[in-house]
Amino acid sequence: MSRVTLLFQSSIGTKLVMAVSGLLLFLFVIAHVSGNLLVFLGPEAANAYAQSLKDLGGLLWVARIGLLVVFIIHIASAVRLWRINKSARPNDYSELESMTTSISAKSMILSGSLVLVFVIYHLLHFTLHITNPEFGSLVDSQGRFDVYKMIVIGFSNVTVSIVYIVAMILLGLHLNHGISSLFQTLGIANYAENTALKKVGSLLAFLISVGFISIPLSVIAGLLKLP
Ligand code: HEM
């Protein structure tokens, strides 16, 4: 068996794959929240942004397929790591360490699984319009898909908004822990720098979560409404 195969079958190799795929998903989430926050600039900015993504054509599909592959790799390595950890028997020295690791690993599996369920619902809601077929016919005065209207109508349903808000809190928790695990796996910097980096990571996770939550909250509060 080659060294590369051995590495990727090992716990550290799997952690590495999870860290890199997690980092890519993290970058997607930053881009997504930034694009979504354009709704606060009004329908023109939001619809023009959505149209500019659609205009990417084939490139958008390459990015979508890439995102899907990264998502699958991230989940597959989480399952693999869980199996490896389950089969590893702790010795006296590592018992305490492995107990704390397994508690945080379990909370990551739980928050990650719930975020996955949310993403599936979110795609059925805003991308495929299966939960709300009427979204498919929303067009603005310039003939573009009216993403602004879809967001406002979508979040006018308080139950839907609550589902999004809870999911975004879970996402924030998942990112917060994920970022510190990432620094640990990649072994970035010394202890002091590592702690500072973790704080930056926690702040970013918090800002991402709050950024997303601000949208359904503003719709419910009547700050974001139809023109
Ligand atoms: C307030 C919160 C959110 C809003 C308003 C929002 C908005 C949108 C919209 C409008 C689309 C459809 C774009 C289109 O097909 O025209 C979309 C797609 C998507 N969203 Fe979100 N989103 C939110 C949160 C999230 C979160 C937290 C995640 C991931 C954890 C996420 C992941 C995705 C993915 C993977 C797609 C599909 C991308 C594509 O097909 O191009 N979204 N979102």
Residue 49: domain span = 3-220
Atom of ligand 1 at shortest range from CA of 67: 35
- Counting the structural domains of the chain, the total is 1
State whether the beta carbon of 126 lies less than 6 angstroms from ligand 1: yes
Task: State both tokens at 14.
Answer: 């799997």
Please tell me the distance between residue 119's alpha carbon and the centre of ligand 1 in angstroms. 8
Residue 202 lies in a domain: yes
pLDDT for the residue numbered 188: 67
Distance CA 216, CA 56 (A): 27
Residue 226 lies in a domain: no
pLDDT for the residue numbered 131: 97
Distance CA 152, CA 139 (A): 14
Pick the residue whose CA is nearest to atom 36 on ligand 1.
123
Pick the residue whose CA is nearest to atom 18 on ligand 1.
127
Task: State both tokens at 199.
Answer: 């704080």
Which pTM does this prediction carry? Answer: 0.91
pLDDT for the residue numbered 185: 80
State whether the beta carbon of 29 lies less than 6 angstroms from ligand 1: yes
Distance CA 202, CA 107 (A): 16
Residue 225 lies in a domain: no
In tens digits, what is the pLDDT along the chain, a chain of 227 residues? Answer: 566 676 667 888 898 999 999 999 999 999 999 999 999 999 999 999 999 999 999 999 999 999 999 999 999 999 988 888 777 655 555 555 555 566 777 889 999 999 999 999 999 999 999 999 999 999 999 999 999 999 999 999 999 999 999 999 999 999 999 988 888 787 765 666 677 888 888 999 999 999 999 999 999 999 999 98
CATH code of the domain containing 163: 1.20.1300
Torsion of CA 53, 58, 61, 65, to 10 degrees: -140
Residue 130 lies in a domain: yes
> Facing residues of 139 across strands?
145
Residue 142 lies in a domain: yes
Pick the residue whose CA is nearest to atom 3 on ligand 1.
212
pLDDT for the residue numbered 23: 94
Tell me the best of 127, 129, 130, 210 to mutate to test the pocket of ligand 1, counting ligand atoms within 8 Å of each CB and taking the most.
127
Distance CA 13, CA 77 (A): 9
CA distances from 110 to 97, 104, 180, 188, 218 (A): 20, 10, 17, 26, 28
pLDDT for the residue numbered 1: 58
Apex 172 CA angle, 166 and 173, nearest 5: 95
Residue ranges of alpha helices (H) inside 123-190 are 147-156, 158-186
Residue 227 lies in a domain: no
State whether the beta carbon of 223 lies less than 6 angstroms from ligand 1: no
* Residue 25: partners with Cβ closer than 8 Å, 6 or more residues away: 67, 70, 71, 74
